[in-house]
Amino acid sequence: MVNKILVAFDDSENAMRAVEYISNFFATDTKITLLNITQDTASLCDMNSPALTPYFKSQQTSFCNLEEKKKSLVDNALQKARQKLMEAGFLDQNVTIKAKSKKKGVARDIVKEAQSGYNTIVLGRRGQSGIKEFILGSVSQKVFH
């Protein structure tokens, strides 16, 4: 049986640590999917209506430029993570990148993807303080429960 691992990847240090963990502890014939879930902001960037406030219109270009930059940074981080796995001996055809827009919530979207045939989910920890994490929760806690 082929081991299939889903890695929830958000371009953080902890997500990269999760990739390092996989590269050290799993067989190189393991199939790995690096999954990134992002906010769908394209509709805001394409919005053009006379009802928009002048302030929103003036800030829309700046916002969309930032979103494009963020997407580029995430794409680069995903490629770097993929390269790290390949340098560890994982085969090109066994390392897949999936970038999806958030549908129901990051944790729910990760769980939905995981239900499509993965044996293992790997998530990095965000590293919040205990109180903040208790109050707000975290993606890893939500996926776990």
CATH number reported for the structural domain that contains residue 120 in this entry: 3.40.50.620
What is the domain count for the chain? 1
Exposed e or buried b per residue across 23-55, where buried means at least 16 C-beta atoms within 10 angstroms of its C-beta: beebeeebbbbbbbbeeebeeeeeeeeeeeeee
**Can you give the residue range of the structural domain that contains 53?**
4-144
Residues linked to residue 4 through DSSP beta bridges, in sequence order: 31
% of residues, the chain, pLDDT over 90: 39
pLDDT attached to residue 85: 97
Residue-wise pLDDT for 75-128, tens only, equals: 999 999 999 999 999 999 999 999 887 788 888 898 899 999 999 988 876 654
- pLDDT top residue among 48 and 77: 77
pTM over 0.85: no
Which helix or strand (DSSP H or E) is residue 100 part of? strand 95-101
**pLDDT averaged over the chain?**
81
CA nearest 32: which of 101, 112, 92, 116?
92
Alpha-helix residue ranges (DSSP H) falling in 13-138: 13-25, 42-46, 54-87, 106-114, 130-136
